[in-house]
Amino acid sequence: MGSPTTFPPLTQRAWFLTGPTASGKSTIAVCLAQHLDLEILSLDSMTVYRRMDLGTAKPAAALQQQTVHHLLDQVDPDTEFSAAQYLETAHAAVDQIVGRGKLPLFVGGTPLYLKACLRGFDAGPPADWEFRKAIEEELREHGAEALRARLQQVDPLSAHQLHPNDTRRMIRALEVARLTGQPISHRQVQFEASHSADEANVYALHWPRNLLHQRIDRRVEQMFADGLVDEVAAIRRDFPTISRTALQAVGYKEVFEFLDGTIDLSTTIDQVKAHTRQLARRQETWLRSMSEVQFIEMDEQRTHEDVAAEILQRSRDRKGPGTTTSENDLPTPDTDSQDSDAGSAPDA
């Protein structure tokens, strides 16, 4: 049987701990594991890459030893890894975790992956790389506005919804329309229905902006102190070609420029800090748009255990399916929603 192209929501089968980068998700997740019989699934589009450890803030080995982690180190940096591949792997892992009588806990901050897990996703057809190359050449010649105008002709809703600079998703929308004869916005509409926070265990860590920026700056400085430049240099040495997806990782493209001699180290560090703050703002904007999310207010006085205790209490207070009545109870698995046709995912 072939790979699935649509994926149902996972809200009734898993918990989610999310938030912007540097918000402290990984450590709090392990604290939750001390109270719940759970396994952690990474909700991050960059930690799927082997060798990309420091720049992606991959959970430390000590944390991974305390609790089983999934969806880390799936492919090498020269390999594309699509949303469809992620979802197929994630759904298979959820099946296995639930089958062991444990709770799947997604931890991470990639907005597209979070939305796809909460509301479902239509992956569409595999990528047409020749078509993409042709469109990218047009983009270089005529700019993003011309690309947007072309998308307006075949998928006006996507043209309206996508950010003017989000050329990657505009190209994908053009590709889907060409390959299927149907706008991607029409295909995805079945998965746009939102749900209330009472219907899911979705918790987002929210820091005051100034404190989050301080945490980001400290994390970036620590990444460089721990050897980020050496990590990127080793990746470049061993993988002459880096996948387009991996090149989107903040920290790596900036260090590549440093290794090329186009910027100095101080400027590189400043750029990584600035780009990470921009990423955090985008993540926060996405999270505010998701009705399923319950926000956990953070400050420097709160301990990881305190935050974990609040999440557990909120779960007990929920009225929706899967409510826990004690710290050791698990949501009832929705066996009717398990996936079928598991196989190799399309590149979409």
Q: What is the pLDDT of residues 303-332, one digit of tens each?
A: 999 999 999 999 998 754 344 434 444 333
Q: What is the DSSP string of 206-258?
A: E--HHHHHHHHHHHHHHHHHHTHHHHHHHHHHH-SS--TTGGGSTTHHHHHHH
* Calculated CA dihedral for residues 8, 27, 33, 327, nearest 10 degrees: -90
Q: d(Cα 47, Cα 97) in Å, to the nearest integer?
A: 20
pLDDT tens digit string along 98-153?
999 999 999 999 999 999 999 999 888 888 989 999 999 999 999 999 999 999 99
> Is 26 labeled as ligand-binding?
yes
Is 21 labelled as part of a ligand binding site? yes
Q: For the chain, what are the domain ranges?
A: 6-124+192-337, 129-191
Q: Is 253 annotated as a binding residue?
A: no
Higher model confidence: residue 133 or residue 163?
Answer: 133
Domain with residues 129-191, CATH architecture: Orthogonal Bundle (1.10)
Higher pLDDT, 18 or 124: 18
* Residue 20 assigned as binding residue: yes
pTM for the model stands at 0.83
What local confidence, expressed as pLDDT, does residue 74 receive? 98
Using the predicted structure, report yes or no on whether residue 6 has a pLDDT greater than 50: yes
| H/E run at residue 70 | strand 69-70
List own/partner pairs for 138-144 with CB under 8 A and 24 or more apart. Answer: 139/167, 139/171, 144/170
Confirm whether residue 25 is marked as ligand binding.
yes
117 in Cβ contact with 9 (< 8 Å): yes
Please check if 324 is assigned to a binding site: no
- pLDDT of 227 strictly over 90: yes
CATH of domain 6-124+192-337: 3.40.50.300
Pairwise CA distance, residues 125 & 131, whole Å: 13
pLDDT digits (tens, 9 = 90+) for 261-298: 999 999 999 999 999 999 999 999 999 999 999 999 99
pLDDT of amino acid 319: 55
pLDDT at 247 over 60: yes
